[in-house]
């Protein structure tokens, strides 16, 4: 859908002269390390704009899939852009980095599952920078004078200066004088990546002003949004501030959902009324915050400065506890969950994506099962998903047929558009619980369902 607007293949390399450096950066070939949700769209977009691109991934399954013309991620428009990039001959896929004019690092920065830090009795998560470290190390043998290296992975403050630069300098070259080094955060929204990659404003933080200029020239190949130059640590901090602000704002919305239930108020109505105020924009409550970004990135601040981040820490706690609040809502509606048959609709971390990472829906399902419920799950964006000990349906019909109740966990468009009058003929369920404001109370009641919604008074 979004890809179609940008499939025009440009020929010829991009050239940039970097003032004050006496060097001329001639970007003809780039190497993109990491072909995930960010690296693959970025590599393909550069390729369809005329650059020679080597896309590198250490996972042989990813390489095999891409070489056979398939894609391992779900992103609207990605198939068309990848096909154009491969057909142009500009994009090649490899397990090994090689010499290039510029290197882009777009590998994951998760946190450790089995290690924690502690400050004043508060446990915090620790960033796992191993992928950034090994991707940077993979560049060292190929690094040449005048090259540009850009880190795009979301990283703790000072990563570019304190982690990436020293590794690259093992080449014998000096960061900032022999080669350019930048941090440039990806800021694209899953589901709209290809459009946002081109249209969003871009931030390029150089470890020297000349590095920022070089980064700007490279992204200028396809970015139509404004490109801002700054220093590397500011760019790292801006990225973390953006996602942390969203996390804190979702936490207050989730806390409002709890308060609304306590006071017999419908939080959704209350939020829409509050948002009529010209300076208020409250986000949506829901089953929690998932994905690989917003539920992870605030921890980078907490780890870097636990004494300065009580609010950020608390917001993480509130959002992480939201699946328990969903569990309470389900118990309130159904009574004891022992042997209750629940059809859980959706596992993805948010609507219309196939990404299950850190998804609160997964936790809700586990909590329901621990309470003795028989949960059957249907995730249309990842029908092959497996959860240990959980019954996975192959179709919506199969998930709902014998259920006593339906639980909407993700607001996928196809779930929002379900017609309750038709659905009721295909299921034993007469109770529907909506955790994301995806269904219309009146319509579902009219169709014959007892209806409950997270953050709303009892119907
Ligand atoms: N969520 C709510 N209520 C809301 C909005 C979101 O509960 O009102 C939940 C979602 O269901 C999901 C989680 O929050 O579980 C995160 O979803 P999201 O749509 O807010 O964000 P992401 O993680 O898909 O993408 C974010 C974006 N950052 C911001 O909007 C500040 C994106 O621009 C970043 O590029 C991306 O993180 C990233 O890669 O860092």
Q: Report the chain's mean pLDDT, rounded to a whole number.
A: 93
Active site residue 293: yes
Residues 431, 437, 438, 443, CA torsion sign? positive
The reply to whether ligand 1 has any atom less than 6 angstroms from the CB of 290 is yes
Ligand 1 atom having least distance to the Cα of 191: 24
Burial of residue 12 (CB within 10 Å: 0-12, 13-18, 19+) is exposed
Tokens of 120: 């004043």
C-alpha–C-alpha distance, residues 110 and 183, integer Å: 18
Distances, alpha carbon 113 to alpha carbons 134, 203, 324, 328, in Å: 19, 30, 20, 26
Q: Residue 232 C-alpha to ligand 1 middle, in angstroms? A: 23
Look at strands 91-94 and 23-27 and give their pairing: unpaired
pLDDT tens-digit map of 391-421? 999 999 999 999 999 999 999 999 999 999 9
User: Can you give the pLDDT at residue 68?
Assistant: 86
The proportion of the chain whose per-residue pLDDT surpasses 90, expressed as a percent, equals 89
Catalytic choice (52, 125, 182, 239): 239
Active site residue 239: yes
Over 90: is that where the pLDDT of 387 sits? no
Distances, alpha carbon 227 to alpha carbons 40, 79, 212, in Å: 21, 27, 10
Over 70: is that where the pLDDT of 2 sits? no
The residues with which 343 forms a beta bridge, in sequence order, are 376, 406
Cite the beta strand spans of 208-291 per DSSP E. Answer: 227-231
pLDDT grade, residue 24 (50/70/90)? low
pTM of the model: 0.92
Q: Residue 108 C-alpha to ligand 1 middle, in angstroms? A: 16
Look at strands 23-27 and 14-18 and give their pairing: antiparallel
- 91 vs 458, which has greater pLDDT? 91
pLDDT grade, residue 8 (50/70/90)? very low
The reply to whether ligand 1 has any atom less than 6 angstroms from the CB of 320 is no
User: Can you give the pLDDT at residue 383?
Assistant: 92
Residues 12-35 have a mean pLDDT of: 68
* Phi, psi at 93, each rounded to 5°: -115, 135
* Phi, psi at 442, each rounded to 5°: -60, -45
Residue nearest to atom 28 of ligand 1 (CA): 243
Q: Single out the residue of 140, 191, 187, 146 nearest to residue 167, CA to CA.
A: 140
């Amino acid at each position: 859908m979004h890809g179609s607007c940008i499939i025009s293949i440009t020929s010829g390399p991009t050239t940039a002269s970097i003032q004050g450096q006496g060097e001329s950066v001639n970007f003809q070939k780039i190497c993109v390390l990491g072909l995930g949700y960010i690296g693959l769209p970025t590599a393909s977009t550069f390729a369809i704009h005329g650059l020679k691109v080597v896309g590198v991934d250490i996972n042989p399954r990813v390489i095999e899939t891409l070489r056979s013309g398939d894609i391992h991620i779900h992103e609207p428009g990605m198939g068309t852009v990848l096909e154009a990039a491969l057909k142009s001959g500009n994009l090649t896929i490899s397990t090994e980095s090689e010499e290039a004019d510029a290197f882009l690092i777009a590998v994951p920065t998760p946190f450790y599952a089995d290690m924690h830090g502690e400050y004043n009795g508060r446990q915090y998560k620790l960033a796992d920078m191993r992928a950034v470290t090994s991707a940077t190390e993979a560049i060292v043998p190929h690094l040449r004078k005048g090259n540009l290296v850009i880190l795009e992975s979301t990283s703790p403050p000072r990563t570019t200066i304190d982690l990436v630069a020293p590794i690259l300098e093992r080449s014998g070259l000096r960061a900032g004088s022999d080669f350019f080094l930048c941090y440039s955060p990806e800021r694209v929204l899953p589901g709209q990546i290809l459009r946002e990659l081109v249209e969003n404003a871009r931030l390029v933080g150089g470890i020297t002003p000349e590095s920022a200029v070089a980064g700007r020239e490279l992204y200028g190949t396809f970015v139509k949004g404004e490109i801002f130059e700054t220093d590397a640590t500011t760019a790292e901090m801006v990225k973390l501030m953006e996602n942390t602000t969203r996390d804190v704002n979702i936490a207050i919305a989730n806390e409002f959902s709890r308060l609304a239930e306590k006071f017999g108020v419908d939080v959704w109505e209350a939020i829409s009324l509050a948002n009529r105020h010209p300076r208020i924009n409250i986000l949506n409550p829901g089953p929690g915050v998932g994905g690989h970004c917003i539920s992870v990135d605030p921890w980078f601040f907490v780890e870097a400065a636990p004494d300065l981040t009580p609010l950020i820490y608390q917001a993480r706690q509130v959002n992480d506890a939201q699946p328990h609040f969903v569990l309470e809502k389900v118990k309130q509606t159904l009574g004891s969950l022992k042997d209750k048959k629940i059809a859980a609709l959706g596992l993805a971390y948010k609507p219309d994506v196939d990404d299950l990472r850190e998804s609160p829906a997964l936790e809700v399902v586990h909590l329901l099962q621990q309470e003795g419920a028989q949960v059957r799950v249907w995730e249309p964006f990842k029908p092959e998903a497996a959860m240990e000990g959980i019954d996975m349906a192959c179709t919506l019909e199969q998930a709902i047929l014998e259920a006593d109740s339906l639980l909407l966990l993700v607001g996928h468009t196809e779930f929002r558009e379900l017609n309750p009058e038709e659905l009721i003929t295909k299921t034993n369920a007469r109770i529907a619980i909506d955790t994301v404001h995806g269904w219309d109370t009146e319509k579902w009641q009219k169709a014959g369902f007892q209806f409950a919604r997270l953050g709303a008074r009892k119907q």
